[in-house]
Amino acid sequence: MIDLPYGGGGQFDEHELVDHIRASGRDYIIQGQTAVARAKHPKQRSLDYWLRQFSRNPDTKQAVNSVIDALVATGLFVVVNKLRCPDSHNHCKGIRLV
């Protein structure tokens, strides 16, 4: 389990994230951290948007670098700096399955 540091806490199972990424048809997810309400999030296929379902306050960004570091520490992910965002089509930082 990985703890979420903001929005009143919460945690998620990294294996659920693996399943979510695989179900997307990609082998990665972009970080997508954005300081907006979840309903107005511009990158709804991002890690930040996905993580907010586990927070007590879903309107607080969650995909902060400490969460990325914790995911990489599991050995299931690596950081990649130029992944294609499925929402904006720009290159973004994210994590890829190992």
Q: How confident is the model at residue 14 (pLDDT cuts 50, 70, 90)?
A: very high
- The span from the CA of 77 to the CA of 48, in Å, is 16
How many structural domains does the chain have?
Answer: 1
- The span from the CA of 30 to the CA of 94, in Å, is 4
The amino acid at residue 12 is: F
Are 14 and 74 in contact by the 8 Å Cβ rule? The answer is: yes
| Alpha-carbon torsion, ordered 25, 26, 31, 34, to 10 deg | -40
What is the residue range of 92's domain? 2-97
Using CB atoms within 10 Å of the CB of residue 15, give its burial: 0 to 12 exposed, 13 to 18 middle, 19+ buried: exposed
3-class secondary structure, 30: strand
What's this model's pTM, rounded to 2 decimal places? 0.95
Q: Which two tokens stand for residue 31?
A: 């970080």
Q: How confident is the model at residue 91 (pLDDT cuts 50, 70, 90)?
A: very high
The whole-number pLDDT of residue 6 equals 87
